[in-house]
Chain A
Amino acid sequence: MAHSFLSFLPSGGVPRRALVVWLLALLAAVFVTVRSTYVADLSAFLPRAPSAGQAVLLDQLRSGVAARLVLIGIEGGTPAARSAASLEWGQRLRESGLFESVNNGDNRQYAALGQFLFEHRYLLSPAVDAQRFTADGLREAIAETVSLLGSPAGAAVKPVVLRDPTGETVRMAEAMLPAQAPRSDGGVWVSRDADRAVLVATTRADGSDLDGQQRALEFLRTSFAPHTAQGLKLLVSGAGTFAVASRAQIKHEVERLAIAGSVAIVLLMGAAFGSLRALAIAVLPVGTGVLAGIATVSLGFGQVHGITLGFGTTLIGEAVDYAIYYLIQAHVPRSAGRSAGDSHRDGQRGADRWIVRNWPTVRLGLWTSLCGFVALVFSGFPGLAQLGVFSVAGLIAAALATRYVLPVLAPDGAPGLGLRRRLGAWTGRAAAFAPTLRWPLALLALAALVALLWLPSPWRGDLQSLSPIGAQALKVDAQLRRDVGATEAGTLIAVSADSEAAVLTLAEQAGARLDRLVVDGALEGYDTPARLLPSPATQAARRASLPDADALRRRIAEATVDGPIKAERLAPFIADVQAARQQVTLTRASLQGTPLATAVDAMLVPGRAGGSPWRVLLALQTGDRGIEVDRLRATLVGVPGVQVVQIGSELGALYAHYLREAKWQAGLGALAVCVLLGLYLRSWRRLVGVVQPIAAAVLIVLAALALSGAALGILHLVGFLLVVAIGSNYALFFDQVRHGAAGAGEDSDTLASLALANLTIVISFALLAISSIPALYAIGEVVAPGTLLCLLLSAAFVRGPRRERRGHDANGPGAV
């Protein structure tokens, strides 16, 4: 091989330079590829947020508390066994250090929290104000507390009634009682519908730290093993679980696709060329393309996503087409008495002929394909942008490698013949036959158009359809959520301000407005950090309303006349109030390390000075009815920095926005393809002839999908754009063949290369179509049938020049 390499010197140093450049570029690409980071979480397929508000939302979804929740169910065995397991195992989980909190109805863990709340009750209780500590106020408060005593409800208050006769503990508990609590049985949370004990854990690992989430989940499973031996079954669900599972799924799929794709194509090429050397040469542009794609993405985005790699198998299918075109079309047939060397002396190397005759068509095919992929780069999804950049870089690299490197290494195309003769003969006959199907196929396209006009719009896809989580897992998740009362946060109020104090004050104002809705019954409740951490102004006001020891003693004496508790017994109360008057204002920082920190951090997002503002997220419990956004907005008018966010509809609106944009981009991409073709063909008639089969193929595939009831989304749109981009290559080749003056042998070679190229594309996209990842099978199920149809329809529809009626067979190029 080195010998033939060197014998090309007469052509000047260009080929050798090309090889050197190519090898250096490959080396650089390998270097970058090996040092890239590969990620596989789905957040790359969440849209980029156009507005700051949506940025908050997406940020919360990715790494907020909701993303760290793990929902756990224990099934099987007896109720007693399940309760015992929940208690014992729950305690072990708490001690493991991997979870910030584990809630299962076991209140022993709240002893420290209760103590903290009790000690700070005069700062935290919503009932503390100046009126409370007047004689009348004290009398009323003591009467209320006493009315609780003597009933089980007062059991918690009885031990401390002498220190807290006004019942601040009770008022705090009332405020913090959740509207939706799970059923309690045997001391632990159980499901209302099923025989199941339920637990809710919050991982320490951030929602976006998938490795940390995975460690926590693995610990869950391994530490439950002794209970599994007793016959109990563990159910685990939650956002982190889904993320870890989908990452594993993506990794697995990508490996499978890469192996399957490579094997399939290698077998195909082996059968087609029958020569290992040809196979090795065909692999070069593919390898170049893939490496270039990965390296470009890594350099451009900083990391490479697993789905991009999965999509990369299609690049194998496309890049190998260039090699196929070259190897087959540059092939110089060996007629008797001539050797390859003789051909060279004629100056008619296969490579040179190919470069002059076929390369322009291939190059145009490259441009049209690029039109398709470039549109991806501008979509609003970082994941799709990666796919676009990957494909663009890969295709250009593969095409350049074919143009400059392959002529050097295989100046006469593929040496072996393999099944090509037969393939060429067969495709020649099929291509001759195809135009007779023109009318049936046209009718089919027409029927597709009618079906599309008659059916409702199939563009119903949404973000949920991008998730690879199966229906069973989603069902388990919904059941556990219902059991635990952790409904998906439907509506949030986001409050922003520049400082902690300001945001808490605004949160309190918003809370006061929301209280009106709760009293009216329009809202079941809401979560606010201000219950656990009141604003400094509120804390100061409460502190100021506490009277000094003498005044308090006088008022108590007045209040307890004829009352159920004598004044003398309330000395502990007076002491506690005096201590409270000296207490330092609580801040988020002072809560760190206390049991309240987790709960507050779930709702209060600290800001950075000069950067993002402080944010408070008020989750609303709307019950089954929900609440109208307009009513919420009307209630909150006048409170600055407040935003109503309906998560479901926000995400839906975001997706719809990008779908609209994607339709424009796809339209522009298709238009660009048409313009390019028009410029090249320089004839309206030929342009129409080339565009027709592609449009028909798109219509038929679209109608088939719509009839099958599939909900189409952005990825399907991407798929259609690819069909246009790739399918146009076939139409172009057929146009060239039917307008060309080339002999029958060359035509059959071209047709064989077309058929082979199409086969590789269909195989690689069909592999995507059977993947379990929605992002991939959406593209696969459009492109695989689409490109196949493009080939068939091009064979049927693309006409030769009008002259054909005179001299040529009316059915197009002659058979072999």
Chain B
Amino acid sequence: MPMRLELRGVLKALAAPLLPSAAMLVAILVAILGSMPAVAAAAFDLTQLTQLLASKRAGEATFVETREVSVLDRTVTTSGRLSFEAPDTFVRENLKPLRERVAVVGNTLTMSRGERSRSVALDSVPEAAVIIEAIRGTLTGNRDALQRVFDTSVAGNAEHWTLDLVPREARLRTQVSSVRVTGRRAEVREMQVVMPDGDRSTMTIEPIAAAATSGSGPAR
């Protein structure tokens, strides 16, 4: 009997220092287990969103855009096609009611209407660049470009996400108040632009089930 007692005593003595470690171990396990759902639920953040978007290297879509402008007596609706190609190409072609084309490749913005065509350097017209960067940056999943120009916030998850963009520079906020982009998985579905005087434009985008190969947009 005394031997068992001593054994218990020895075990207790041995176990005493272990007890805190065990507690730590348990605590760690709980933390790991506990945080896993947290990881799953937490920040579907800009990094993940842009990675998701960038996985689609090229694409084509049709769009319908409605604009509410205070000075006009009714909303204006345009429709057409748009296409993009990583890393920095974006083309928007209005088909109705007027044929117009805006193409951005790198730093060059080309606007064509009928036979008239003008090219300018995008960085020399920052007011126009705001919208272009919002669209192009989102479609091509360019995180650096988006973060450079906008304060970003992402909500939702990979299935259904919302990206809010607000221009960082006060000067540019006088042109565009905010842009809200919503989409599903790697596809952008809607873009809403709100301007400081209350005018807004909403573009609904319907991706065309494109061929897997990247590259073919409308001719540049």
Contacts and interface: CB of A to CB of B under 8 A. Distances in A.
B76 A146 contact: yes
Nearest to A105: B124
Contact of A143 (B98, B116, B120, B127): B98
Contacts of A519: 115, 117
Contact of B127 (A147, A152, A161): A152
Contacts of A192: 123
Given A149-B67, A183-B121, A155 B116 contact: no
A421 interface: no
B169 interface: yes
Contacts of A446: none
B11 to A, nearest CB: 67
A152 B76 contact: no
Contacts of B72: 146, 149, 564-565
Interface size class of A (residues with CB under 8 A): 20 to 34
Contacts of A52: none
A181 interface: yes
B76 A147 contact: yes
A23 interface: no
A483 to B, nearest CB: 11
Interface in B172-220: 175-176, 193, 195, 197, 199-201
**Most-contacted residue by chain B among A143, A151, A180 (CB, 10 A):** A151
- Binding site of B, secondary structure by majority: helix, strand, loop or mixed? mixed
B194 to A, nearest CB: 11
Contact of B73 (A151, A187, A564): A564
B187 to A, nearest CB: 23
A181 B195 contact: no
A185 B127 CA distance: 10
B76 A186 contact: no
Contacts of B131: 151-152
A182 B69 CA distance: 32
A150 interface: yes
B100 A184 contact: no
A155 B175 contact: yes
A162 interface: yes
Contacts of B171: 186-187
Interface in B77-134: 78, 94, 97-98, 100, 113, 115-121, 123-128, 130-131
B3 interface: no
Contacts of B116: 174
B71 interface: yes
A565 B131 CA distance: 25
A149 B76 contact: yes
A155 B71 contact: no
Nearest to A149: B69
A609 interface: no
Interface string A157-201: 010011000000000001001011111111100001000000000
A147 B128 contact: no
A153 interface: yes
A256 to B, nearest CB: 47
A11 to B, nearest CB: 85
B68 interface: yes
A566 interface: yes
Given A177-B118, A186-B169, A564-B72, A147 B98 contact: yes
Contact of A150 (B123, B126, B201): B201
B4 interface: no
A308 B69 CA distance: 72
B123 A184 contact: yes
B201 A564 contact: no
A569 B74 CA distance: 13
Nearest to B113: A144
A181 B94 contact: no
Contacts of B176: 152
Interface in A121-160: 143-144, 146-147, 149-153, 155, 158
A181 B124 contact: yes
Closest 8 CB pairs of A and B: A150-B67, A181-B124, A183-B123, A152-B175, A564-B72, A150-B69, A149-B69, A150-B201
Interface of A: 143-144, 146-147, 149-153, 155, 158, 161-162, 174, 177, 179-187, 192, 519, 524, 564-566, 569
Interface of B: 67-69, 71-74, 76, 78, 94, 97-98, 100, 113, 115-121, 123-128, 130-131, 169, 171, 175-176, 193, 195, 197, 199-201
Given A179-B119, A519-B115, 5 more contacts: A153-B128, A183-B121, A184-B126, A565-B72, A569-B73
28 contacts: A143-B98, A144-B98, A146-B69, A147-B78, A149-B67, A149-B199, A150-B68, A151-B193, A152-B128, A152-B130, A152-B176, A152-B195, A158-B71, A161-B71, A162-B71, A177-B120, A179-B119, A180-B121, A181-B120, A181-B125, A184-B125, A185-B123, A187-B171, A519-B117, A524-B119, A564-B74, A564-B76, A565-B71
